[in-house]
Amino acid sequence: MENDRSPTDDGWFYAPAPPDTNTFTDLGTFNVDGEVFEVRRSDAEGTTLYDWVSGPNDDYGFNTFGGTGASSREQHVASIRDFLAGIDAATGFLRDL
């Protein structure tokens, strides 16, 4: 059996991803409908990361992309509520559409 560093039949091989060099601004902890999210924004890309710290699955959450301006608290809460509305209660993951 080949390991991840061995070439594939196509001449490709797997390599670890480079470290994330982006810097982030901590936007705080949001408590929404009994769930807790830690929110941070990528300074370079304008991506907002929402880590669902009270959720049933480790390291789960969602990202929003784009926008150059800061989002309001209400916009963050609305994004979190939209995410939670799509969660399958049995798995704790987003439902398949």
Q: Measured between alpha carbons, how far is 43 from 88 in angstroms, rounded to an integer?
A: 32
Confidence band, pLDDT 50/70/90 cuts, at residue 9: low
Confidence at residue 2, expressed as pLDDT on a 0 to 100 scale: 46
Number of domains present in the structure of the chain: 1
The secondary structure element, H or E, covering residue 73 is helix 73-85
Distances (CA, A) of 81 to 16, 35, 45, 49, 54: 34, 10, 23, 14, 14
> What token pair was written down for 59?
């390291």
Has residue 5 been placed in a domain? no
Domain that holds residue 40: 24-85
* Entry field: residues in the chain: 97
Question: 36 or 46, which is more confident?
Answer: 36
Confidence band, pLDDT 50/70/90 cuts, at residue 57: very high
Q: What percent of the chain has pLDDT over 90?
A: 59
